[in-house]
Structure 1
Amino acid sequence: MSKHQLSNFIGGKFVDPINSAYLDSCNPATGQVFAKVPRSGKEDVDDAVSCALKAFPSWSEQPTQFRSKVMLKIADILESRLDEFAKLESQDQGKPITVAKAIDIPRAIYNFRFFATYILHMVEEQRTLDGPIRALSYVQHMPVGVAGLISPWNLPLYLLTWKIAPAIAFGNTCVAKPSELTSLTAYKLCGVFNEAGLPPGVVNIVFGLGPDAGEALVCHPEVPLISFTGSTLVGNRIAELTAPMCKKLSLELGGKNAGIVYEDVDLDECVDACIRSSFSNQGEICLCTSRLYIHHSIYNDFLNRFVTAARNFRVGDPSDPNVNMGALVSAQHYEKVKGYIELAASSGGVVHCGLGVDELPQDCRGGHYIAPTVITGLTESSPCIQDEIFGPVVCISSFQTDEEVLKKANGVRYGLCATLWTKDVNRALTISRKLRVGTVWTNCWLVRDLHMPFGGMKMSGVGRESGADSKHFFTEAKTVCLRIK
């Protein structure tokens, strides 16, 4: 396989890192080096911020119709190259090519189209004050400036564009730092920006490690806003670093999401959906279900069906269109997930299926594969129940009452999302209200309306994005009061 050598994208140009240092990025399916990624430092970030600052006055003053037109052109070009981007995403991250084609790249395209259209239909609030002094007051949502955007490795283009699109739609310029593990589609996106006519400096992308490039971006005095998706540990670090500077923060962090299954469900439909919510993208989605609580009256039936379905979930070469699950993103992450499974087994848990993958193509035998793993018999205090594993590992237990399952579902430090399976509408409304999470899906999973707020409670993050919430985050609301005589 040919290797890709990436460059930073600063001021509309591809430039090498100032220190000439590069990182190896491996293909998860084979374990072989796939690309050379810049190991950028503070100087590279400083250059990128300078270009973003220079581009800001002109871009922020452009009519919304102009910004919308450029963003729609970006979406059109991405769509015309969907297969190319999907192949790169699969090779770079380890996800099945079918997932990249059906979800990742189409959603990246839609991110640009959604916000390109959204900004054309915004209505600002205004009020007339009658009294001793009559006045007209109205709100202007003004661009903040240079946005610092840090995206994760699990949905590389999907989540990078989820940040870039609203940032530039609302008139900001930005400096983005993708994950050093999955940088290739971000690099290819830079060429799309130029082809679409995005002015130089509006979007700048700097590659590198979090402690180097990421921290330099977070701490830069000319970057007033940080949008970060990643681990709770890093999110805490960002909050600590930015607190003295009063920066605007949006932190979408970890999840340990519960699925609650009541006795009145259609088991065939429910098991199929729970398999997808548990093992899609190798379980490497912050919204994946990693804890399943099943009503005691159907527990054995559900468990047997779920284990059978997990065993039939085909794992292998991500380029194979018949594969359901690919490889974990890195050797380090593989060892982490494997460690949790081994801990569960040594702590009294029953591992019904999973861990090793016996049949792999010759080229994939150096890759990082773990089969869908189902575990029962653990206490609620177990690390496998409490910690975000971020892999194809699901822990299943039973419950009898609403009070019991709510205590279990809410009994972790995370609060990103939950799934609820029942035909009883009153029960669904009651349980949803009592779940301490940012999103509850009832009888479905990963259905996203981009107008609706997205974010987490507790240690799953700070702030919300989507639609109006993105407008509020990526702008500053200014009240203008005009006296009427």
Structure 2
Amino acid sequence: MKIQNYINGNFENPIENNWLDNYNPSNGEVYGLIPNSSKEDVEKAYESAKSAFLEWSKTTLEERSRILIKISELLEDNLQSFAEAESKDNGKPVSLAKTVDIPRAASNFRFFGNAITQFASESHESVGQNAINYTLRQPIGVVGCISPWNLPLYLFTWKIAPALAAGNCVVAKPSEITPMTAYLLSEICNKAALPKGVLNIVHGLGKSTGQAIVEHPEIKAISFTGGTATGAHIAKVAAPMFKKLSLELGGKNPNIIFADCGYDEMLHTTVRSSFANQGQICLCGSRIFVEASMYEKFKKDFVQKVQALKVGHPSDENTNIGALVSKSHLEKVMDYIEIGKNEGGKILCGGNKVTVKGFENGYYLEPTVMEIRSDECRVNQEEIFGPVVTIMPFNSEDEALQMANKVKYGLSATLWTNDLKRTMRMSNQLQAGIVWVNTWMMRDLRTPFGGVKASGVGREGGFEALRFFTEAKNVCIKY
């Protein structure tokens, strides 16, 4: 199967006819080709977006809302086929894609389709000066959206939905590793009567296609989710052109567990927060710190539950852990396991590749729990982004805070305690963009989302996203 670029409402081959293999992680086989788009392809997509911008930016809020909600409905109508495509491309269980990824993608369009109708301007009367100020929120123009491979359609739509709702036209690049559902979304957009050129999707490598989007002088804003090193490169390229940037980058998130927590709920949720999507979620709690008085009990119970997780083919309804996204990523995660051992880490369970019968060349790995001696070891400081977690005890609130904050990242943190005063103290002091208390991954799309430190700049979600994708203009009238 050949995936094509989506430019001006049409499906097109790359201009230079360069193609990349698209792999199925569950069996390690090539099942299609995708474009490796060039600078010329990006320019064509930009020109298409530029031509569509004037009309799209002047459409009524109600019309934009109607189209976005229609896209949402069509995604829901095609839930099963999109979930299967996402699983085939990414390696995650079909059940996960069906209950999380595709419903959330649909929700993104519905939420921002509704939110734009409630996104009001501000006005300020200058008392005594006979003047009034009001703020216009105007679309930027053509914007670039670049999304990662771990939650392909979920995060792709998290960017393009608010961009389109705000009246912008988009040049978007999904990950070259997981392009399928973005391609299928193109067909949905045509069925929903999204005007030609409003959304353009170009496929290809980051160093070619992504670079062309970032360095294009007339693409005025970049929304990117991915690795910290890539984010730093984007910031360096974009800075001389004064582009607006929203960068959601890496995470090495602490999961802090106190003895006064609701134990059963904590244990169940911690297994999920450690290994959901094979640990390939930027919000996974990959560093687990447990109060010393309950550490041995937690270690025993946690390992027992992790060992019960089934590693298997994504289409198997009983599978808990599917395939990692690529062979190179599997090798990277395995390398970190060896690094952890060399640093003195003790493997409590997992750590080995898994062979699934009938799919022997797939990229499968046991969920791995490693007990470490120091919070400063590499496996506790560097983002692994796989089914590997570290655990170690702590003796005091201050020690837990120090270890939690002693990394370069600051995306999320999870805190388990029934002490309200401790909750308020630690939530205030944890260096993270989001803190979950006695839960994990509970999301309200109205809330701001993003990280601090090396986890990025800017915020997505709710009106924060609509503010990012608009420019504020103040108008002052004297009367």
Structure 1 residues 73-152: aligned runs within 5 Å: 73-131=70-128, 133-152=129-148
One-letter identity of the residue aligned with 1:434:
Q
Q: Give the one of 12, 31, 42 matched to 2:9.
A: 12
SS in 2 for 1:5: coil
The whole-number CA distance in structure 2 between the counterparts of 1:315 and 1:161 is 29
Q: Give the one of 37, 42, 45 matched to 2:42.
A: 45
Tell me whether 1:376 sits opposite 2:371 in the alignment. Answer: yes
Shift of 1:121: 1.5
Give 1:252's aligned residue.
Answer: 248
Q: Which runs of 5 or more residues in structure 1 are unaligned? A: none
Q: Which runs of 5 or more residues in structure 2 are unaligned? A: none
Shift of 1:122: 2.0
The whole-number CA distance in structure 1 between the counterparts of 2:373 and 2:20 is 39
Give 2:152's aligned residue.
Answer: 156
The whole-number CA distance in structure 1 between the counterparts of 2:307 and 2:9 is 48
One-letter identity of the residue aligned with 1:229:
T
One-letter identity of the residue aligned with 2:474:
T
Shift of 1:266: 2.5
Contact map agreement 2:83 2:102 (CA 8 A) in 1: yes
The whole-number CA distance in structure 2 between the counterparts of 1:141 and 1:410 is 37
How many percent identity over aligned positions? 49
The whole-number CA distance in structure 2 between the counterparts of 1:359 and 1:308 is 21
The whole-number CA distance in structure 2 between the counterparts of 1:315 and 1:428 is 35
The whole-number CA distance in structure 2 between the counterparts of 1:358 and 1:439 is 34
Tell me whether 1:59 sits opposite 2:51 in the alignment. Answer: no
The whole-number CA distance in structure 1 between the counterparts of 2:321 and 2:269 is 15
Give 2:187's aligned residue.
Answer: 191
Shift of 1:52: 0.3
Residues 267-323 of structure 1 deviation map (CA, whole Å, 9 limit, x = unaligned): 221111000000000000000010000000000000101101110011110010110
Tell me whether 1:324 sits opposite 2:320 in the alignment. Answer: yes
Alignment RMSD: 0.8
Residues 195-231 of structure 1 deviation map (CA, whole Å, 9 limit, x = unaligned): 0000000000000000100000000011000000000
Give 2:395's aligned residue.
Answer: 400
Tell me whether 1:422 sits opposite 2:422 in the alignment. Answer: no
Residues 141-191 of structure 1 deviation map (CA, whole Å, 9 limit, x = unaligned): 000011100000000000000001000000000000000000000000000
- Using the size of structure 1 for normalisation, the TM-score is 0.98
The whole-number CA distance in structure 2 between the counterparts of 1:420 and 1:107 is 25
Structure 1 residues 221-240: aligned runs within 5 Å: 221-240=217-236
One-letter identity of the residue aligned with 1:436:
Q
Shift of 1:110: 0.1
Contact map agreement 1:315 1:357 (CA 8 A) in 2: no
Residues 406-442 of structure 1 deviation map (CA, whole Å, 9 limit, x = unaligned): 0000000000000000111111111110000000000
Would you say how many aligned residue pairs link Structure 1 and Structure 2? 479
Contact map agreement 1:34 1:92 (CA 8 A) in 2: no
SS in 1 for 2:367: strand
Contact map agreement 2:355 2:362 (CA 8 A) in 1: no
One-letter identity of the residue aligned with 2:280:
E
SS in 2 for 1:366: strand
Contact map agreement 1:137 1:482 (CA 8 A) in 2: yes
The whole-number CA distance in structure 1 between the counterparts of 2:198 and 2:43 is 15
Structure 1 residues 343-362: aligned runs within 5 Å: 343-358=339-354, 360-362=356-358
Structure 1 residues 176-187: aligned runs within 5 Å: 176-187=172-183
Contact map agreement 1:344 1:378 (CA 8 A) in 2: no
Contact map agreement 2:366 2:387 (CA 8 A) in 1: yes
Contact map agreement 2:354 2:366 (CA 8 A) in 1: no
SS in 2 for 1:89: helix
Segments of 4+ moved more than 6 angstroms: none
Give 2:198's aligned residue.
Answer: 202
Give 1:214's aligned residue.
Answer: 210
Shift of 1:358: 4.6
SS in 1 for 2:164: helix
Shift of 1:359: 5.5
Contact map agreement 2:410 2:433 (CA 8 A) in 1: yes
Give 1:27's aligned residue.
Answer: 24
One-letter identity of the residue aligned with 1:115:
F
The whole-number CA distance in structure 1 between the counterparts of 2:213 and 2:466 is 22
